[in-house]
Amino acid sequence: MKRLMMAAGAAVALGAPGLAHAETSCADLAKASLPHAEITRATVEKAGQGEACRIAVTSRPTKDSDIRIEVWIPLGQAWNGKFVQLGNGGFAGQVPSGQLRAIAGRGYAAAATDDGHQTTQGTDASWALGHPEKIVDFGWRALKETTEIGKALIAEQKGLKPKRAYFYGCSDGGREALMEAQRFPGDFDGIVAGAPANYMSQLFGISAAQQQALAAPGGYLGPDQRALLQKAALAQCADGGTFIRDPMSCHFDPGKLQCKAGQADGCLTAAQVHSARVMYEGRRDPRTGKIAFPGFSPGAEAAPNSWSAWVTGQGEPDHGRALGLNFSSNAFKYFAFQDPSYDFLKMDLGAEFDRGQRKMAHDIDAANPNLSAFKAHGGKLIQYHGWNDPAIPARSSIRYYEDVRRTMGDTSGFYRLYLIPGMLHCGGGAAPTQVDWLSELDGWVTEDKAPGAVTAKGAGGASQLLCPYPAVARKAAGGWACPARKPAAKTRA
């Protein structure tokens, strides 16, 4: 069997001008060997209008590693010469094969991983108990293994390396995208980071603060309270519309809804006002009283797949099913404290949280604002985030963008951030939100077409104009327009 070296230098030579190379068949590719990894399956699959070689790999860079990877390579002329690595979501546990098929159907070679463990529950982190190497695999090592193996198999099958390499992910995949730019700046020519959970350990702190408030006597926000909050927020800030176009200028205070003496309906109790404020403000450090990390933006509190999915549950009886509650509970049990009985609802949000956060941050956070090496490589980065994201606050993306700008100065030559009014977590919501970010990235990398005003599309031909942060689309003659680009404000989100 032929052993593939990660650099794949010999295969690259075959792709030089004037040298013909017959593609390695999918069946023969199954016989190749990889360092500390084995190919477990190679089959020809339908992908779009053509076919692709689907290769399953198990990589074991440590004795406790079990990283599952899939690489899809379009066969024949279907390949556009480019490679896309996809990110995962939640705590992963499965390879996103359907997404790989779709990307391969567009002509890209594609790869993704389960991040080093197997589970059907995306909120489950019990696999990390007693397995520190698996936490490393989840945090970043599985990503690097996937990149190297993906590129090596493409080179072996095609006889040349991809001419462009991109990374695309949302949520945890967005965290992975920024992890790639920070830790492996030479691996990708372009990166799309959607709703990134790059401050992952801090997100668990926000959830702890939210869930503690909701669990307090009288603090739960049921369907009626969520509807009341959304109606009031839209009335104040949506200018008659169904979503808030400029959340930065919306200063909504749920205190205006607090019940007055003798009032019982159509209002919030003091405990519920406190819960709502925690949702919007984020986590306060009890030692200083200051906001340690930002919270959610108003305007979609009662929307389907919003707070009910991520924070509150549909009603109080199924509060325990909320995704954010389960993510954070698992994180503190298995990442931070290695104690399945740990109750984060009783956690001190100051020093005790800090101890847990420090134990998690090194391997799972992607917070480094110095992207100089990625920029020097020629890399381009597009980051996007829905303003009404109920899982990862949009202001966390602003925080990272501003941290990068403070560190590096003007970033517009390689880094653009888009905040999407009305969008929930990675998609959906009351507004048009669909953008082909991969095509935007490809045009920037291959044709130097830096993205400016971008049109998001929705059902029934609806659309909205998106401007690179900090600009906000404004009404103009004949429609909407992005104002002239100005430097981002030097305020911390």
Buried b / exposed e across 154-175, counting CB within 10 Å, b at 16+? bbbbbbbbbebbbbbbbbbbbb
Q: Prior bond to 470 cis, omega within 30?
A: yes
Token pair listed for 411: 């970033």
Cβ neighbours of residue 483 under 8 Å, at least 6 residues apart?
A: 467, 471, 472, 474
Instruction: Measure the CA–CA gap between 260 and 360, rounded to whole angstroms.
Output: 44
Distances (CA, A) of 343 to 302, 331, 347, 349, 448: 28, 11, 7, 13, 51
For the chain, the domains span: 9-197+367-481, 202-363
Residue pLDDT tens, the chain, 493 long: 445 644 443 333 333 333 346 799 999 999 988 999 999 999 999 999 999 999 999 999 999 999 999 999 999 999 999 999 999 999 999 999 999 999 999 999 999 999 999 999 999 999 999 999 999 999 999 999 999 999 999 999 999 999 999 999 999 999 999 999 999 999 999 999 999 999 999 999 999 999 999 999 999 999 999 999 999 999 999 999 999 999 999 999 999 999 999 998 999 999 999 999 999 999 999 999 999 999 999 999 999 999 999 999 999 999 999 999 999 999 999 999 999 999 999 999 999 999 999 999 999 999 999 999 999 999 999 999 999 999 999 999 999 999 999 999 999 999 999 999 999 999 999 999 999 999 999 999 999 999 999 999 999 999 999 999 999 999 988 889 999 765 545 444 4
Instruction: Measure the CA–CA gap between 337 and 37, rounded to whole angstroms.
Output: 31
pLDDT number for residue 478: 80
Instruction: Measure the CA–CA gap between 488 and 223, rounded to whole angstroms.
Output: 37
Query: At the top level of CATH, which class does the domain 9-197+367-481 belong to?
Result: alpha beta
Cβ neighbours of residue 97 under 8 Å, at least 6 residues apart?
A: 54, 70
Token pair listed for 283: 């986590």
Instruction: Measure the CA–CA gap between 149 and 157, rounded to whole angstroms.
Output: 12
Instruction: Measure the CA–CA gap between 232 and 211, rounded to whole angstroms.
Output: 23
Catalytic positions, written as ranges: 171, 389, 425
Instruction: Measure the CA–CA gap between 255 and 21, rounded to whole angstroms.
Output: 70
